Amino acid sequence: MTSNTLKLVLVSTPIGHIGSGRGGGVELTITSLIKGLTALGHEVTLVAPEGSEITSNCSQIQVSYVSGKDQESWQHKDYDSDITIPNGGILPKLWERALELGKYADAILNFGYDWLPIWLTERVNLEIYHLISMGNVSAAMHSIVKQISLENQHRLAFHTYRQASDFELNEKPIVVGNGFDLDNYKLQLNKNGSLGWAGRIAPEKGLEDAVKVASALKDKLVVWGLIEDSKYAESIEASVSPGTIDWRGFLPTKQLQKELGACRALINTPKWNEAYGNVVVEAMACGVPVVAYDRGGPGELITSGLTGWLVPPDDINELINATSKVNKIDRRNCRIWVEESASKEKFTNRIVEWISNGIRAKTT
Ligand code: UDP
């Protein structure tokens, strides 16, 4: 660490390459953080699966590509599943590379929600930090997080307090929120657009409830996102009259924000303890109020009555009521909240403070 700048190795998720959509919100988090770090003069090396596309200015960072079989996401396995790595898996390869490059860096920052990197924390003489990207979806993860928290909780950070409350921690959690490159999101003030929903099309995201709202209001629901579970998507499509859902697929941020910003509301219906909820903040960055279940991260991101409405989890009638009064929200409030709380600059400062404090604590 030279004065205030850090030399960091960032390790991407082993679930899919950046740009594939399989890594969910983590892909965007890494991209905005890289932009925020390099703007402040920090030195960044990214270790990522081959095929990863980094949209920020690549010339300012080193990218070390690794190839291998994708790791299966923990949230799609049974809670008590064993820790497994496929033959030729990318996870240990990412970490072989990261441990090598980490010898010449101040710290390694892990974005993968996986057991191996967390287990390594206390077994190598390097500063490894973990930004935990999901709640308690696996017994193995719950147990390793608990173990690290006993002696080294400063190596762990979370996106929201609600997410952190899923784990058994020894101390008060470090919560860093998330960050977005706000140059990429334009405020749109028109209040008469469609209803929207965005996210991975998978059961934990609860798309079926948002569809019920659109049906009840005799409206259409525009849906963006990667279809992770096609049987689930088909069953939702079959449950409503044709044309209720307008499937738009997985769009790059630039196009997504343009279409998302034209909505009168985003409906967010998590069925799990959502760690953060990128799409909630991306919608608000465009001025779109969000109507959401008061569950997980979205419950901490939305100020009911100011930037959208929070309703009791799984209460469809309340979701319908709240959606019908969304025009009471001043769209500018949504953008202001994001500028004040979730810009890439604010997020980067929180990350730098977290890691710098950790390094300082070791050397003093
Ligand atoms: N996303 C996207 N294009 C789409 C729909 C979604 O790039 O058409 C991205 C979105 O920008 C967000 C991510 O998918 O960063 C979803 O992240 P979120 O935190 O909402 O949920 P996760 O998938 O991490 O559970």
Spatial contact of 112 and 90, defined as CB atoms under 8 Å apart: no
For residues 332 and 347, give the distance between their C-alpha atoms in angstroms, rounded to a whole number.
Answer: 21
Distances (CA, A) of 276 to 2, 27, 201, 272, 281: 32, 13, 17, 11, 9
Rounded distance from Cα 293 to ligand 1 centre (Å): 17
pTM above 0.75, yes or no: yes
* H/E segment holding residue 91: helix 90-102
Tokens of 360: 């300082």
Other CB atoms within a 10 A radius of the CB of residue 182 amount to 17
Residue-wise pLDDT for 39-74, tens only, equals 999 999 999 999 999 865 556 799 999 999 999 999
Residue 231, helix vs strand vs coil: helix
For residues 61 and 57, give the distance between their C-alpha atoms in angstroms, rounded to a whole number.
Answer: 8
Q: Name the average pLDDT for the chain.
A: 96
Q: Give burial (CB, 10 Å; 0-12/13-18/19+) of 277.
A: buried
Residue 3 scores a pLDDT above 70: no
Rounded distance from Cα 279 to ligand 1 centre (Å): 6
Residue-wise pLDDT for 144-199, tens only, equals 999 999 999 999 999 999 999 999 999 999 999 999 999 999 999 999 999 999 99
361 band by pLDDT with thresholds 50, 70 and 90: confident
Q: What was the pLDDT predicted at 54?
A: 84
Q: From 223, 228, 278, give the residue whose CB has the most ligand 1 atoms within 8 Å, as the site to mutate.
A: 278
Residues at CB less than 6 angstroms from ligand 1: 24-25, 28, 198-200, 224-225, 250-251, 253, 256, 276-279, 282
Tokens of 319: 């979701």
Residue-wise pLDDT for 324-338, tens only, equals 999 999 999 999 999
Residues 6+ apart with CB under 8 A from 206: 269, 270, 271, 293
CA 148 to chain centre: 22
Domains, the chain, with CATH or none: 7-179+343-363 (3.40.50.2000), 182-341 (3.40.50.2000)
